[in-house]
């Protein structure tokens, strides 16, 4: 679907990812999560294909109001205080699950079952970040990933979110609205799960995250990927364009160039898109906001909008696109060059 609009008068444009100064064109995208009747201009980089918001609203905080989905809480038992012994045992069990043989952890797996962790273990396998690792999560929202890591025995966890509602400190977990300066060169794994695309200057963001890495540590960045199948199919109805919250949507090439410019080497890319790219985008084609209180399938109010068969087909297609490196989001792993 072509959504290109004629380019406006040339201003000082610079691609936030590759640094190029040539636009392939501009796109007009509506706010569609809440259904606010307002549109935003995005530039497409002629060099790397990255999409970039040109006219951010002054009141960006308004676009993260309830029921913004990053604020989902964990179940109460995940937040519970654990005894030192329980944390140690859970850590051993998780380490064994990650393939670092731990005899006591192996017994715990048999006795108590596998660790409850509703996220991919590959993030921690590829980064080699076991329960003793110091982990920083940039733009952590309500810190679901960190809270589940803590529940599984991780002991050195730090989360940051500029829209953090309350500062929290649990044993082993610190959540702050600022990045603590004492973490410079202290982290084994720095993660940004769908947060970098919310920045107007992601290159500066990557440089800031790089400063937290120990030698040999991993930077893990998950972002929507511009120029992927879903963008080509749906254009500005692509659900992960998400104007105006997503200010810069890098292409794979844009990510590569941005990491290189920051002095980092890309070591691995895993595409991890889901049926959501189709469910959400098809819902937008029907002009139904994500949070529509009656008609939204995604928000759970209209379960008959898409059939089970249709959703299964989309899930299969998403898997195929991931294998082809054409899903609408990916996990990028990088190290210091």
Q: Which stretch binds Zn ion (CB under 5 A): 42-50, 103-111, 176-184, 322-330?
A: 42-50
Q: Which stretch binds Zn ion (CB under 5 A): 48-56, 90-98, 204-212, 221-229?
A: 48-56
- Dihedral sign for Cα 180, 175, 64, 236, please: positive
Locate 322 and state its tokens. Answer: 């991931």
Which residues, 180 to 239, sit near Zn ion by CB under 5 A?
A: none
> From the list 43, 45, 190, 279, which residue makes contact with Zn ion (rule: CB under 5 A)?
45
| # of chain residues touching Zn ion (CB under 5 A) | 8
The distance of Cα 330 from the centroid of its chain, to the nearest Å, equals 9
Q: Which stretch binds Zn ion (CB under 5 A): 46-54, 204-212, 290-298, 306-314?
A: 46-54
How many angstroms separate the CA atoms of 97 and 172, rounded?
20
Rank residues 203 and 278 by Cβ distance to Zn ion and give the closer one.
203
Q: How far is the CB of 15 from Zn ion (least distance, A)?
A: 3
Which residues, 260 to 289, sit near Zn ion by CB under 5 A?
A: none
Contact 130, 94 (CB under 8 A): yes
Locate 260 and state its tokens. Answer: 């290189």
Rank residues 45 and 187 by Cβ distance to Zn ion and give the closer one.
45
User: 3-state class of 194 per DSSP?
Assistant: coil
Q: How far is the CB of 48 from Zn ion (least distance, A)?
A: 3
Contact between 249 and Zn ion by CB under 5 A: the answer reads no
Q: Which stretch binds Zn ion (CB under 5 A): 47-55, 66-74, 113-121, 150-158?
A: 47-55
Q: How far is the CB of 4 from Zn ion (least distance, A)?
A: 17
Q: How far is the CB of 298 from Zn ion (least distance, A)?
A: 30
How many angstroms separate the CA atoms of 150 and 180, rounded?
19
- Dihedral sign for Cα 81, 84, 86, 91, please: positive
Which residues are CB-contacts of 157 (< 8 A; sequence separation ≥ 6)? 135, 137, 146, 149, 150, 172, 173, 174
Binding mask 6-25 for Zn ion (x = CB under 5 A): ---------x-xx-x-----
> From the list 31, 43, 44, 50, which residue makes contact with Zn ion (rule: CB under 5 A)?
50
Q: How far is the CB of 335 from Zn ion (least distance, A)?
A: 23
User: 3-state class of 39 per DSSP?
Assistant: strand
Contact 30, 242 (CB under 8 A): no
Which residues, 316 to 335, sit near Zn ion by CB under 5 A?
A: none
Q: Which H or E element spans position 318?
A: helix 308-323
Contact 66, 41 (CB under 8 A): no
Positions touching Zn ion (CB under 5 A) are: 15, 17-18, 20, 45, 47-48, 50
């Amino acid at each position: 679907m072509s959504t290109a609009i004629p380019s406006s008068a040339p201003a000082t444009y610079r691609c936030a990812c590759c640094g190029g100064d040539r636009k392939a064109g501009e796109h007009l995208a509506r706010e569609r999560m809440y259904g606010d009747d307002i549109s935003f201009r995005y530039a497409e980089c002629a060099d790397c294909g990255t999409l970039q918001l040109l006219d951010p609203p002054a009141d960006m905080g308004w676009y993260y109001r309830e029921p913004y989905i990053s604020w989902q809480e964990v179940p109460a038992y995940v937040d519970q205080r654990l005894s030192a012994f329980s944390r140690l045992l859970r850590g051993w069990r998780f380490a064994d699950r990650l393939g670092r043989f731990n005899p006591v952890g192996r017994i715990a797996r048999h006795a108590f079952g596998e660790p409850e962790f509703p996220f991919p273990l590959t993030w921690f396998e590829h980064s080699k970040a076991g329960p003793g690792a110091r982990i920083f999560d940039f733009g952590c929202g309500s810190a679901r990933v960190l809270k589940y890591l803590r529940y599984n025995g991780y002991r050195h966890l730090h989360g940051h979110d500029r829209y953090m509602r309350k500062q929290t400190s649990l044993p082993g977990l610190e959540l702050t609205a600022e990045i603590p300066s004492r973490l410079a060169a202290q982290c084994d794994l720095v993660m940004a799960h769908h947060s970098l695309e919310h920045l107007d200057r992601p290159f500066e963001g990557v440089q800031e995250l790089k400063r937290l890495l120990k030698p040999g540590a991993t930077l893990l960045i998950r972002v929507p990927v511009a120029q992927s199948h879903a963008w080509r199919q749906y254009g500005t109805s692509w659900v992960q364009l998400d104007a105006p919250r997503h200010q810069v949507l890098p292409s794979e090439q844009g990510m590569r160039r941005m990491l290189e410019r920051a002095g980092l080497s890309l070591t691995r890319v895993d595409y991890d898109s889901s049926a959501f790219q189709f469910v959400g985008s098809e819902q937008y084609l029907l002009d139904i906001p994500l949070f529509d209180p009656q008609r939204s399938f995604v928000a759970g109010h209209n379960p008959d909008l898409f059939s089970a068969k249709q959703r299964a087909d989309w899930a299969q297609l998403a898997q195929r696109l991931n294998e082809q490196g054409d899903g609408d989001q990916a996990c990028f792993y990088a190290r210091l060059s």
